[in-house]
Amino acid sequence: IKLSQTETATPARLQAEQSEARRQKAIEAIQHDPHVQAMQSTFNAQLDIDSIEPVD
C-alpha cells in the first residue's frame, strides 16, 4: 500500500485562492497608480500593503 497526500480543491480552498489572487491584483493596481506614486514621492509616503483589500 502506498500512501500519498493529495490536495483536494475544496470550495473553501478555491475561495481562499481566488480571494488572495484578487488581493494581489488590488495591491499591484495601487502600487502602479500614478496618483499614488505622486503622493508617495511628494510626502515620502509608504503603502501599508497589509491594509489593502479588494473592493467587490
In a domain, 26, yes or no: yes
In a domain, 1, yes or no: no
Report the 10 Å Cβ neighbour count for 41.
9
Summarize the confidence of residues 4-9 as an average pLDDT.
Answer: 77
Q: Is the pLDDT of residue 13 over 80?
A: yes
Summarize the confidence of residues 22-48 as an average pLDDT.
Answer: 97
Cα–Cα distance measured from residue 31 to residue 50, given in angstroms and rounded to the nearest whole number: 13
Q: Is the pLDDT of residue 3 over 80?
A: no
- Residue 9 has a pLDDT of 83
Range of the domain at 32: 13-41
User: Please, are residues 31 and 46 in contact by the beta-carbon 8 Å criterion?
Assistant: no
- Residue 55 has a pLDDT of 87
Lowest mean per-residue pLDDT among 3-7, 25-29, 38-42:
3-7
Cell of 44: 515620502
In a domain, 4, yes or no: no
Specify the number of domains making up the chain: 1
In a domain, 33, yes or no: yes
